């Protein structure tokens, strides 16, 4: 994924699968890396929950 030069944000979709299996809360983490593989800032974390 690439970000536009001068951009201040981008939407990222985390795909999920809707099924009948009740699962525990799951987590997702995003770390942005530059072209050399170095982190460009803090890791962003979120929670994924099944819809009711």
> By C-alpha distance, which of 43, 46, 50, 45 is closest to 16?
50
**Residue-wise pLDDT tens digits, 15-35:** 777 778 777 888 899 998 888
Give yes or no for a contact between 25 and 48, defined as CB atoms under 8 angstroms apart: yes
| pLDDT band for position 38 (cuts 50, 70, 90) | very high
For the entire predicted model, the pTM comes to 0.57
45: which strand partners? 29
Residue with more model confidence, 51 or 25: 25
The pLDDT > 70 percentage for the chain reads 92
| pLDDT band for position 10 (cuts 50, 70, 90) | confident
> By C-alpha distance, which of 29, 30, 25, 15 is closest to 50?
25
């Amino acid at each position: 994924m690439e970000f536009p030069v001068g951009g201040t944000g981008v939407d990222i979709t985390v795909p999920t699968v809707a099924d009948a299996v009740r699962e525990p809360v799951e987590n997702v983490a995003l770390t942005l890396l530059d072209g050399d593989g170095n982190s460009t800032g803090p890791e962003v974390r979120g929670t994924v929950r099944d819809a009711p």
